[in-house]
Amino acid sequence: MPDIPELIRLAVAARDRAYAPYSNHPVGAALVTDAGGVYTGCNVENAAYPLGSCAEQSAISAMVLGGGGTIRELVVVGPGDTPCTPCGGCRQRIREFAGPGTKVHICNERGVLLTMTLDELLPESFGPKNLNQR
């Protein structure tokens, strides 16, 4: 199972491959599943802004393609030293594949800037279980 420094290294490598010519805000993400699978992603922008993909979304898509699973930990690395937290849409995507205690680490190249659980990142969230309640 990779440790946080290794996940940061993978997220930085993904960030460095991001396609962000419009915002100049490259982001990388790396996640590890409960089964030990490791998946990375980067943001990919498009001239028609709403059609871009976030790094977290890309990593989750790679995870699903690789067989799925439950996210155990997630690392997100932005372009500088200011914490780059997941956007609202990505928080909901993370929620789909993670539990309330899943740790989300917001990092720069040197280390962790902020760590939150999914429940702290997206309190009182709506998820798959809500669709089965009456």
Q: Which residues are annotated as a binding site?
A: 43-49, 54, 87, 90
Q: Give the active site residue among 56, 96, 109, 124.
A: 56
Give the other-Cβ count within 10 Å of 52's Cβ: 16
Active site residue 124: no
- Contact yes or no for 88/69 (Cβ under 8 A): no
Q: Which residues are annotated as a binding site for substrate?
A: 43-49
Distance CA(6)–CA(74), nearest Å, equals 12
Annotated binding site for Zn(2+): 54, 87, 90
End-to-end CA distance of the chain: give it in Å, rounded.
Answer: 39
Catalytic (active-site) positions: 56
